[in-house]
Amino acid sequence: MTQRADAGKKKKSSKQKPNNMNVNILQTDPPTSNLKRKRQKVKRDEMKKEAELPAHRKRKDDHDDEEDDNDSQSTGSETEYDAEFSQSDEEDVGIDGQPNYEDSVHLSSFNLYLEHNLTKEEIDNQKGSKFKWEVPAIGMSSCKWIGTGENILEDLNSNSFDGLIPRLYEHWMDVYKTSGGKDLNSSMQKIFFSLCSRYRDILHCNKKPFYVKGLEDTSIMDAYIMHSLNHVFKTKDCVKKNDAKLSRDGESAGSDKFRDQGFTRPKVLILLPMASIVYRVVKRLIQLTPSAHKVNVEHMDRFLTKFGSEEGNEENDHDSENKKPQKTSKPSDYEVLFGGNNEDDFMIGIKFTRKTIKLFSDFHTSDIIVASALSLVNKIEEAGCNKEKDVDFLSSIEVLIIDHADVIAMQNWYHVHTVIDHLNRLPSKQPGTDVMRIRPWYLDDNARFYRQTIVLGFYSNPDINASFNHQCCNYEGKVKLVCDYKGVLHKVLPEIRQIYERFHVDSIVDADDARFDYFVKKVFPRIKDSDQGGIMIFISSYSEFIRIRNFLKSQNASFCLLGEYTTQSDISRARNWFNEGKRKIMLYTERSHFYHRYKIRGVQNLIMYSLPERKEFFPEILNMLDGSASMACTLMFSSLDKFRLERIVGTNKAKRMVTAEKSVY
C-alpha cells in the first residue's frame, strides 16, 4: 500500500483544525534559580569524580546485545572504546571548539534535562504557557525566533558548539576540511546546534530544501545529525560509566543515581518522506560518525540497493544536490526531488557498537530508527491486530526529528499525528531492561514530557502547527521560527488579472462549509450562466475535491477530473477532452500537481477554490492562462488562510487583506 493510496482512506480523519500562533501550548520551565542551583550541584559533583576508571574491569553493558562483542573476544578488560566513552561527558566542547570545564552550565544540559524529576504541580502548570519572547534570527533577515519559558537565545554564545563530545566535533571539523567546506563555524549553524543541545522543541519551517536550485542548506541537516549522534553516544557513556561503578564498587543498582535507561534502546526517531532522502541522511550520518566507531558498516550493499538508485549510488551526498537534471518539461525542483527512489513505505534501524555501525538492526535494539510515517502507522496497525507484535521500540524515544515536513504534509500529515500519539507509551510487553535502571519518569508514564521534537520544513501549515502546539509537550519549552514573506506575485505573468474574494468564516469548524457555500452561491452561478469553456477549478485538499465533484454531478455539469487517484489513462483522456473543449470544467488538485506537475493546455479561466500550500505552485498554475482570451483568475480565501496567503502575496499585504473591511481585491 502506498502512502498516496492510503491517504485517501484516511482523509476524513486526517483533517486537523488550524491553529493561530498564540494558541495555548503545553509547556513548563523550571524556575531559573532552581536550574542554576542544579547546575552548580552537578558541577561540584563532577569535580569530585576521578579522572579515570580502573584499567581492568569486567565489561557489563546492558545497553548492548551479546552480538556487540563480535569484533572483540576479550570481555575481561576495558577496551579503548569503553575508555573513550567513559571520559567524554566531562570534557564537552566549549568556546571555539576547545574543551572548557567552566562552560559546564551548558555542557551538562544532557544530564540536567534527563535527571530533572517533574512534579505533578509542574505538569499541571504546563497548560497555558505562551510564546513570550523573540530574538532576530542570525543569517535570516526577515525571520525571528520566538519561544516559551526562559529566553535561551538572549545570551547564547555563537562561537561555541555547546555540549558536543570532543571526538564528534574533531571528526566534524576533519570532514569539512577534507570536503573543502567553509560553513562549519557559521553562526547560523552553531546557533541551531545550540538550540538542539538545549533540548527545546523546535519548529524551523524556513529550511532551504536540497531540491530547489541555489537554496540548499546542509548545515541544518548536519546539525541535527550531530545532535542525534551526540545524544546516542552520551546515553551510552552514561550507561557504561554506571556499569563500571556497579562492577567496581559493588553498589546496589537500586540507587536512583544508576537510573539511566528507558524501557527499550531506541532513543532517536527520524521521520522522512522518501527513500531517496533517507539515502542522503543516512550516508551523511555515517560520514559524520568518527572513524573509530565505523571500522565496519554492516549491510551497506543492502542499504544502497534498497534506498539508492543507479545514479545516486555513484554520487556522494553533496554531489547529488548539484546533479544537473535531464532535459524535460518538468521544473528542475521536481526532477531533483522525484529523480531518485520515491518509495514512501520504509523503515531502517541503526545500531552503534564499539567499532561497527549496523544497518537494518532489529528495531528494539537499535539506537536510531529512520522511517516514514506510513511505515510506522502500518506497524502500529499490525500490533493492534496481532498480539504477538508490538511497537514498544517507540516507548523510549527521547529525540524525534521530522525533516521535510512540508513534503510529508503533501503525502498525509495524519500519519505523523498518529505516530506522535503512539510515542512514549508504556510498553505492551515486559521490557528486557533491568527495571532498577529505568528512569523514574518512564515508570511514571511521563516520558512524553522529556521528548524533544524537532520539526523542519520549507514552510509550515495549520496541521504542522497543530501537532507542534498540542502534541509536543517538552517540559523545557518551545522555540519557533517566524518569517515574513515577500510573496511570489512577481513570477506571475503581468497580463493575468487576479481577483481575490474573501468569504466570511465564523469559526474553524465552519470553515469548509463557508467556503463551499460561497462557491455555490457566488462563484458557480457565473460558471453555469457562461458559455465559455476551459474553466479550471484548482482545489488544495482531497476532501474539497470530492465535495465539488459531487456537487457538479448534481448540477449535471460538463466536467472532467484530474486528481491524485485518477488513473493514467483517465488523465490522458481528461486532458484531451478539456483541451478540445469537450468538457467545460476541469477539477485539478494540488497533490496531483505535486506528484506530476502537469502543464494543462486549454485553460481560459481559472478559479482557485483554495489556495495552494506550496507557494511555487501559484505562478505555475496561474501561468497556464498564458495565451487565453480572458486571462482571468478568481481566488477564494478567508481569514484562516493567512499562512498560505502571505507566502503568495507577501506578509504585509496578507495582513491587510484578511482584516480590512474590503472583501474583494
List the domain boundaries for the chain: 118-309+331-483, 489-659
- pLDDT tens digits, one per residue of 17-28: 333 333 333 333
**What pLDDT score does 245 carry?**
85
CB atoms within 10 A of CB 388: 7
Question: Is the Cβ–Cβ distance between 475 and 450 less than 8 Å?
Answer: yes
**What pLDDT score does 373 carry?**
97
**Pair type for strands 143-147 and 133-136:** antiparallel
Beta strand spans in 241-280 (E): 268-271
Highest mean pLDDT among 140-154, 158-172, 301-315: 140-154
Please tell me whether residue 74 adopts helix, strand or coil conformation: coil
Least Cα distance to 317 among 295, 293, 287 occurs for 287
Instruction: Spell out the residues 6+ positions from residue 614 whose beta carbon is closer than 8 angstroms to its own.
Output: 406, 410, 458, 459, 590, 594
pLDDT surpasses 70 at 338 = yes
User: Quick one: what percent of the chain has pLDDT higher than 70?
Assistant: 77
* DSSP H/E element including 208: none
User: Phi and psi of 221, rounded to 5°?
Assistant: -60, -45
**Pair type for strands 399-402 and 268-271:** parallel
Instruction: Spell out the residues 6+ positions from residue 26 whose beta carbon is closer than 8 angstroms to its own.
Output: 126, 127, 129, 470, 472, 473
User: Where residue 248 falls among pLDDT bands split at 50, 70, 90?
Assistant: confident
Distance of CA 628 to the CA centre of its chain: 41
657 vs 665: CA distance, rounded Å: 8
Query: Which three cell numbers, joined as nine digits, stand for 87?
Result: 571520559
| Long-range contact pairs involving 568-574 (C-beta distance under 8 Å, separation at least 24) | 571/596, 571/598
CB atoms within 10 A of CB 579: 15
**What pLDDT score does 422 carry?**
96
Residue carrying C-alpha cell 565496519: 296
Least Cα distance to 579 among 562, 558, 598, 601 occurs for 601
Residue carrying C-alpha cell 550531530: 226
**What pLDDT score does 182 carry?**
55
561 vs 545: CA distance, rounded Å: 9
H helix intervals, 587-639 = 590-596, 617-622
Please tell me whether residue 606 adopts helix, strand or coil conformation: strand
**What pLDDT score does 127 carry?**
72
Beta strand spans in 237-355 (E): 268-271, 296-298, 347-352
60 vs 240: CA distance, rounded Å: 8
pLDDT surpasses 60 at 40 = no
245 vs 253: CA distance, rounded Å: 10
pLDDT surpasses 90 at 14 = no
Question: Is the Cβ–Cβ distance between 336 and 324 less than 8 Å?
Answer: no
Least Cα distance to 663 among 554, 546, 526, 502 occurs for 502
Instruction: Spell out the residues 6+ positions from residue 572 whose beta carbon is closer than 8 angstroms to its own.
Output: none
- pLDDT tens digits, one per residue of 609-628: 999 999 999 999 999 999 88
User: Where residue 550 falls among pLDDT bands split at 50, 70, 90?
Assistant: very high
Residue carrying C-alpha cell 480572458: 630
Q: Which residues pair with 588 in a beta bridge?
A: 538, 562
- pLDDT tens digits, one per residue of 258-313: 888 999 999 999 999 999 999 999 999 999 999 999 999 999 999 999 998 745 44
Question: Is the Cβ–Cβ distance between 447 and 395 less than 8 Å?
Answer: yes
AA letter at 311? E
Q: Which residues pair with 479 in a beta bridge?
A: 147, 202
**What pLDDT score does 108 carry?**
56
Query: What value does the CA radius of gyration of the chain take, rounded to a whole number of Å?
Result: 27
**What pLDDT score does 181 carry?**
58
Taking CA atoms, 581 is separated from 348, 496, 534, 555, in Å, by 50, 21, 7, 19
357 vs 297: CA distance, rounded Å: 5
Taking CA atoms, 240 is separated from 5, 59, 99, 114, 434, in Å, by 46, 9, 21, 17, 14
Query: Has this prediction a pTM greater than 0.75?
Result: yes
Q: Provide the CATH topology of domain 489-659.
A: Rossmann fold (3.40.50)
Q: How many CA atoms lie within 13 A of 468 on its CB side?
A: 34
Q: Do the domains 118-309+331-483 and 489-659 sit in the same CATH topology, yes or no?
A: yes
Lowest mean pLDDT among 233-237, 316-320, 344-348: 316-320
- pLDDT tens digits, one per residue of 368-387: 999 999 999 999 999 999 98
**What pLDDT score does 58 carry?**
36
Superfamily of domain 118-309+331-483 in CATH is P-loop containing nucleotide triphosphate hydrolases (3.40.50.300)
Q: How many residues does the chain have?
A: 665
- pLDDT tens digits, one per residue of 350-373: 999 989 999 999 999 999 999 999
643 vs 654: CA distance, rounded Å: 9
User: Where residue 466 falls among pLDDT bands split at 50, 70, 90?
Assistant: very high
- Average the pLDDT over 61-85 and give the result: 39
More confident residue, 166 or 31: 166
AA letter at 472? C
CB atoms within 10 A of CB 372: 26
